[in-house]
Amino acid sequence: MECYVLNGELHPVENGMTITSMLQKQSIDANTGVAIAINSQVIPKQNWENQKIQSNDSVLIITATQGG
């Protein structure tokens, strides 16, 4: 089975999986201060719909938090 790493955990790669579809599968709202990096490269939000996730990619989801 082909997999990618998401925040340190293995997940199966689905055929044609994009960042947008991966976020939906993970139940993450893309409109809540989220940044995505694939293989240490930040992917602009306007590219999420078309950016494919490949086998062996390392995906990092960073969520903005408030504090003070």
- For the cut 90, the answer to whether the pLDDT of residue 46 exceeds it is yes
Which band of pLDDT confidence, cut at 50, 70 and 90, is reported for residue 53? very high
Interior/surface letters 19-38, b for 16+ CB within 10 angstroms, e for the rest:
bbebbeeeeeeeeeebebeb
Q: What is the pLDDT of residue 9?
A: 96
- For the cut 70, the answer to whether the pLDDT of residue 52 exceeds it is yes
Which band of pLDDT confidence, cut at 50, 70 and 90, is reported for residue 15? very high
Number of structural domains the chain divides into: 1
Domain assignment of residue 51, yes or no: yes
Q: What's the rounded Cα separation, in Å, for the pair 67 and 60? A: 21
- For the cut 70, the answer to whether the pLDDT of residue 43 exceeds it is yes
Domain assignment of residue 68, yes or no: no
Write down the pTM of the prediction: 0.89
Domain assignment of residue 26, yes or no: yes
Q: Which domain holds residue 55?
A: 3-63
48: Cβ–Cβ under 8 A, 6 or more apart, which residues?
18, 19, 20, 23, 30, 36
Q: Which two tokens stand for residue 56?
A: 């062996």
